[in-house]
Amino acid sequence: MDLDISGLGGLGDGVGRLADGQVVFVPGALPGDRVQIAVVGKRQGVLRGQLLALRAASADRSEPACAAFGTCGGCDLQHLADAARLAHHRQLLQRVVGPRVDVRAVAVPAAGHRRRARVHLRQDQGRLVAGMLAARSDRVAEAPHCPALDPALETVRQRAPAALADFFYLGELAMVRGSQGVVATLTGKVRSAPPTAQELCARLAVAGLRYRLGQHADEFGERAVRLPEIDPPWEVWTLADGFCQASEHGNRALRAAVDAALAEAGPLDRAAEFYAGSGNFTDLLLRRGAKVVAFEQDEAACAQLAASARQAGWSDRLRILHGDVAAQLAAAAGHGVWLLDPGRPGAPDLCAAAGRLGPRHVVYVSCALDTLGRDARTLAGHGFAPVAATAIDAFAWTTHTEAVVHFARA
Ligand SMILES: C[S@@+](CC[C@H](N)C(=O)[O-])C[C@H]1O[C@@H](n2cnc3c(N)ncnc32)[C@H](O)[C@@H]1O
């Protein structure tokens, strides 16, 4: 049957309605498309359609930048024009914060935006292949060129099969690019004893490499890299398999949005930062003169954060609490401003405690609008209302977005 697509679901599927009002989700279809579909399933009252033919294309359709689009699980919205994708993310965030807040949307150049990646290495018909996994699969989607990866990471990905094939069987190469170049961590199974890490650095053209391969372990060169977008005297360092914001441009925009929210919050006295990582946002609080308590469970990130504070001469205003946020919430009492940047599960315990622990401002950085929405409802129950919101297209070509929302207590 033919169907007009009128919306885009949160997972990037086109959404249309049959003549009888039933909703159909169609992977690969976009708002404005007229498509021929076959209904192939039904879940929780919603039909699932398979796109058979494109009768008329949406004006927002664009040519995917990657030959593997459609099979690769890395990017799921390359067929939507950049401006339309940004508008879509803005609209999703608008739903979270409600109609009274004017949502800003910040574009991030898509080509080469990913400076952090986990490249999968698999055997395919007797050959070692390197790339992202195919959607809903354990196979690598072979892309002759990955346009989303930072060019330096893409060079390493291209080199990896030939560089590793003589000893490596299956595993992962985690990589990040910073000011000193690319550092990588190799894990997995080998067929024979690996060469030294120094030799592999040369083969892969990386500034540092660590590997743990069964009983074999070695490391050479740089262990961590510095993020180039952070101004002195602060420095943010990240390990190849640690966390850092995946896009440099995206992180500049995130930091600018957080800083604008902190400026709006007024003079900072004592601030609590949750999910601080290695200090990507901590300096924004310290630069404004705050005394900061930072919560983070990753030991290596805490060590990097402490070293950055020492080196900047700000240790006396920073207390780092290593461990699970939920177990140490009492330490957040009496801090007027909260800054939080949880992973995809969000921060339900923290938001539930916000009424009791009494911050005036909550600046929430989110990479998952569904859990942000849930936590915003919890905060609303404690008298917090969103006053500013920014969507940042830091995961360009995908359905994911970053958001910064400033909640203030009435
Ligand atoms: C999205 S990252 C943000 C890190 C940092 N804000 C940044 O921009 O690089 C989330 C961080 O939360 C930490 N984390 C996750 N769950 C946690 C928990 N329950 N308690 C404390 N830290 C946690 C992770 O180790 C990670 O560093």
Torsions phi, psi for 271 (to 5 deg)? -130, 145
Is 220:198 a contact under the CB 8 Å cutoff?
A: yes
The phi and psi torsions of 350 (rounded to 5 degrees) equal -65, -45
Three-class SS state of 193: coil
- Residue ranges and CATH numbers for the domains of the chain are 2-61 (2.40.50.140), 85-109+247-409 (3.40.50.150), 116-226 (2.40.50.1070)
- The pLDDT score that the predictor gives to residue 14 is 96
Instruction: Select from 297, 308, 322, 339 the residue to mutate for testing ligand 1; criterion: most ligand atoms less than 8 Å from CB.
Output: 297
In the chain, the N- to C-terminal Cα span, in Å, equals 52
The tens-digit pLDDT sequence of the chain (410 residues) is 999 999 998 788 999 999 999 999 999 999 999 999 999 999 888 999 999 999 999 999 999 999 999 889 999 999 999 999 999 999 999 999 999 999 999 999 999 999 999 999 999 999 999 999 998 888 999 889 999 999 999 999 999 999 999 999 999 999 999 999 999 999 999 999 999 999 999 999 999 999 999 999 999 999 999 999 999 999 999 999 999 999 999 999 999 999 999 999 988 999 999 999 999 999 999 999 999 999 999 999 999 999 999 999 999 999 999 999 999 999 999 999 999 999 999 999 999 999 999 899 999 999 999 999 999 999 999 999 999 999 999 999 999 999 999 999 98
Predicted TM-score (pTM) of this structure: 0.95
Q: Closest Cα to atom 6, ligand 1: which residue?
A: 276
Ligand 1 centre to CA of 167 (Å) is: 35
Q: Whose CA is nearest to atom 27 of ligand 1?
A: 277
Q: In a 3-state reduction of DSSP, which class is residue 332?
A: helix
- The per-residue pLDDT for 312 is 98
Going through 74-178 in order, the beta strands assigned E by DSSP cover: 103-106, 116-124, 127-131, 168-178
Mutate to test the pocket of ligand 1, among 226, 239, 243, 286 (most ligand atoms within 8 A of CB): 243
Atom of ligand 1 nearest to the CA of 275: 12
- Residues having CB closer than 6 A to ligand 1 are 243-245, 275-277, 280-281, 295-298, 301, 324-325, 341-343
The residue to mutate among 236, 241, 243, 275, having the most atoms of ligand 1 within 8 angstroms of its beta carbon, is 275
In this structure, the number of other CB atoms found within 10 A of the CB of residue 383 comes to: 12
